[in-house]
Amino acid sequence: MKPGMPLFSHLKIYFSLLLAITAGCALSAAEQPTPESADKALAESVQELRAQVQELRAAVAEIKSEASQYRAESQELRKELDGIRAASTGPSGTPSPSPQGPAPASSIEQRISAIEENAQLVQSQVKTQYQSKIESASKYRVRLSGLVLLNMFSNHGSVDNSDFPTYAAPIDTYGTRSSFGATLRQSELGLEVFGPEVHGAKTSGSVQFDFGGGFPAGALDSVNTGLVRLRTADIRFDWQHTSIIAGQDSLFFSPLSPTSFASLVIPSLGYSGNLWAWTPQFHVEHKFDLADDQNVIIQAGILDNVTGEPGYGTHREPQAGESSGQPAYAVRAGWNSMRDGRPMGIGASGYYSRQDWGIGWDVDGWAVATDWRIPLPSRLELSGEFYRGRAVGGLGGGIGQSLLFSGNPLSAISDFRPLDSAGGWSQLKFAATSKLEFNGAFGVDSPFATDIHAFAAPLSYYPSVLTANRSEMVNFIYRPRSDLLFSGEYRHLRTTHIGSLDTADQVNMMMGVLF
pLDDT class of 26 with cuts at 50, 70, 90:
very low
* Cβ–Cβ under 8 Å, residues 473 and 489: yes
* pTM assigned to the model: 0.73
pLDDT class of 133 with cuts at 50, 70, 90:
low
Task: Give the separation between CA 286 and CA 295, rounded to whole angstroms.
Answer: 10
Q: 3-class secondary structure for 238-259?
A: ECCCEEEEEEEECCCCCCCCCC
The three-point CA angle 224-226-230 to 5° equals 160
Please determine, for residue 332, whether its predicted confidence score (pLDDT) is greater than 50: yes
Task: Give the separation between CA 157 and CA 443, rounded to whole angstroms.
Answer: 19
Please determine, for residue 29, whether its predicted confidence score (pLDDT) is greater than 70: no
**Number of C-beta neighbours around residue 505 at 10 A:** 17
Task: Give the separation between CA 238 and CA 201, rounded to whole angstroms.
Answer: 5
392 vs 315, more confident: 392
Which has the minimum average pLDDT: 126-135, 223-232, 238-247, 473-482? 126-135
Q: What is the pLDDT of residues 427-442, one digit of tens each?
A: 999 999 999 999 999 9
Evaluate the CA torsion angle 274, 278, 281, 282 in order and state its sign. positive
Evaluate the CA torsion angle 208, 213, 219, 221 in order and state its sign. positive
Tell me, what's the pLDDT at 76? 75
Q: State mean pLDDT over 395-412.
A: 91
Tell me, what's the pLDDT at 335? 98
Tell me, what's the pLDDT at 1? 45
Task: Give the separation between CA 433 and CA 423, rounded to whole angstroms.
Answer: 32
Task: Give the separation between CA 350 and CA 342, rounded to whole angstroms.
Answer: 27
Strand segments, DSSP code E, in 308-401 are 328-339, 342-356, 362-376, 380-390
Tell me, what's the pLDDT at 49? 65
Average pLDDT of every residue of the chain? 85
Topology at the third CATH level for domain 237-514: Porin (2.40.160)
Element (H, E) at 294: strand 294-303
pLDDT class of 77 with cuts at 50, 70, 90:
confident
Task: Give the separation between CA 278 and CA 263, rounded to whole angstroms.
Answer: 15
Please determine, for residue 144, whether its predicted confidence score (pLDDT) is greater than 70: yes
Tell me, what's the pLDDT at 28? 44
346 residue type, one letter: I
Q: What percent of the chain has pLDDT over 70?
A: 76
Domain residues of the chain, as ranges? 7-33+40-132, 237-514
Please determine, for residue 470, whether its predicted confidence score (pLDDT) is greater than 80: yes
Report the greatest alpha carbon distance in the chain.
120
Q: State mean pLDDT over 367-372.
A: 98
Q: What is the pLDDT of residues 84-106, one digit of tens each?
A: 666 655 544 444 444 444 445 55
pLDDT class of 177 with cuts at 50, 70, 90:
confident
Q: What is the pLDDT of residues 248-272, one digit of tens each?
A: 999 999 999 999 999 999 999 999 9
Q: 3-class secondary structure for 418-481?
A: ECEEEEEEEEEEEECCCCEEEEEEEEEEEECHHHHCCCCCCECCCCCCEEEEEEEEEEEEEEEE
